[in-house]
Chains A and B, each alone.
Chain A
Amino acid sequence: MVKRISVVENIFSANDRLAAENRAMLDQNGVFSLNLMASPGAGKTSLIEHTVTSLAGLFQLAVIDGDIATSLDADRAAAAGAVAIQINTGGDCHLDAVMLNQALVKLNMENIDLLIVENVGNLICPASFQLGTHKNVLIASIPEGDDKPYKYPSMYKGVDALVINKIDLLPYVDFNMNYFREGINILNPAVEIFPLSCRSHEGLDAWLNWIQNIIQPQEQPD
């Protein structure tokens, strides 16, 4: 005699539950956190280096790095002045909430103001796995081309901020900024956009100010 049992449960609930736990831990310790995602080579680690170097005097920074191999990126973050932890995913193409949880328990969060999680270089999979960070950030770069919002809608839709790196290369590469921006507008009109160059430093101040204003909100005049 067959019996029907109603379940109605989200399959991602395990990851999402742990992401919520991660967020609770971060909030409890007053840590503001970012999940930084991008294709390989777009400039995640360079942006982290610049962010750490510029803000290390004002805040305590930690970086958790996800890669399938080496500790190259965590080493760079540590050299710039952050507490750095490397996660080697063992072949997994993205970080998930379980891996972040395991790294968070190793971090002395009481002393941290800002945590940057550098995801595995990948424009597809990280979009499906929430980590529990406060903001999701995508770094796009000029040489990757202007059609990426159209081709990777899940990623572009799911982020709170978008850095457009390597703007110093605009004169040398075919890149139609209007077409690019239109694609973003369709998917995510509210996203904060930061065109910059880690190499020439143009536009970095706006990015740093955005972070600073979240950690230490400016008082509004009466």
Chain B
Amino acid sequence: MHELAVTQSVLDLAIRHAEQAQSEKITDLYLVIGELSSFVDDAIQFYWDIIVKGTLAEGSQLHIRRIPAELECLDCGVRFSFSMENYICPECESIRLKIAAGEEFLLEAIEVEP
């Protein structure tokens, strides 16, 4: 949900960086989205195609890299991949865990032409 708002945020951020670099065209954008994030890739692409028209990013390609979810044990420090079956530390069986990866939503890089 809310893909339109976040897609707009991606566009605003990308344009800001492109303008700082004095570029006139954005060709590619690289998004990193964690597995636990609730955003749907297709919905982002759908809105992206609409909102880039008439902007520096028109015709640009979105690349989305998904990061798998990982937990870290607060007691022994072990990191392991998360699933609803895997919610106890495999090393010390503690349930005191934190999410170490999988909640990301960032714009990693853009590629521009002068």
Interfacial residues, chain A to chain B (CB-CB below 8 A): 1-12, 14, 93, 124-125, 128, 150, 154, 157, 185-186, 189-190
A124 cross-chain contacts in B, Cβ below 8 A:
1, 38
Bound: A12/B99 CA distance, A: 18
B112 cross-chain contacts in A, Cβ below 8 A:
2-3, 5
| Cβ contacts A to B, 30 pairs, < 8 Å | A1-B113, A1-B114, A2-B28, A3-B23, A3-B111, A3-B114, A4-B109, A4-B111, A5-B17, A5-B110, A6-B109, A7-B17, A7-B107, A7-B110, A8-B107, A8-B109, A9-B106, A10-B105, A11-B9, A11-B13, A11-B106, A12-B105, A93-B1, A128-B38, A154-B36, A185-B95, A186-B87, A186-B95, A189-B95, A190-B96
Task: Let me know if B108 is at the binding interface, CB within 8 A.
Answer: yes
Does more than half of chain B's interface fall in helix, strand or loop, or is it mixed? mixed
Bound: A1/B112 CA distance, A: 8
Contact of A6 among B99, B108, B113 (CB under 8 A): B108
B23 cross-chain contacts in A, Cβ below 8 A:
3
Q: Which of B69-114 contact A (CB under 8 A)?
A: 84, 87, 95-96, 99, 104-114
Does more than half of chain A's interface fall in helix, strand or loop, or is it mixed? mixed
User: How far in angstroms is the closest Cβ of chain A from B92?
Assistant: 14
Whether the Cβ atoms of A5 and B18 lie closer than 8 Å is yes
A8 cross-chain contacts in B, Cβ below 8 A:
106-109
Bound: A157/B114 CA distance, A: 45
Task: Report the contact-size class of chain B (Cβ under 8 Å from the partner).
Answer: 20 to 34
Q: Which of B17-35 contact A (CB under 8 A)?
A: 17-18, 21, 23, 27-28
Task: Let me know if B64 is at the binding interface, CB within 8 A.
Answer: no
| Tally of contacts, chain A with chain B, CB under 8 A | 71
Whether the Cβ atoms of A7 and B84 lie closer than 8 Å is no
Interfacial residues, chain B to chain A (CB-CB below 8 A): 1-2, 6, 9-10, 13-14, 17-18, 21, 23, 27-28, 36, 38, 84, 87, 95-96, 99, 104-114
User: How far in angstroms is the closest Cβ of chain A from B36?
Assistant: 8
B99 cross-chain contacts in A, Cβ below 8 A:
157
User: How far in angstroms is the closest Cβ of chain A from B39?
Assistant: 9
Whether the Cβ atoms of A5 and B21 lie closer than 8 Å is yes
Bound: A9/B106 CA distance, A: 5
Whether the Cβ atoms of A14 and B106 lie closer than 8 Å is no
Whether the Cβ atoms of A5 and B10 lie closer than 8 Å is no
A154 cross-chain contacts in B, Cβ below 8 A:
36, 38
B105 cross-chain contacts in A, Cβ below 8 A:
10-12
B38 cross-chain contacts in A, Cβ below 8 A:
124, 128, 154
A186 cross-chain contacts in B, Cβ below 8 A:
87, 95
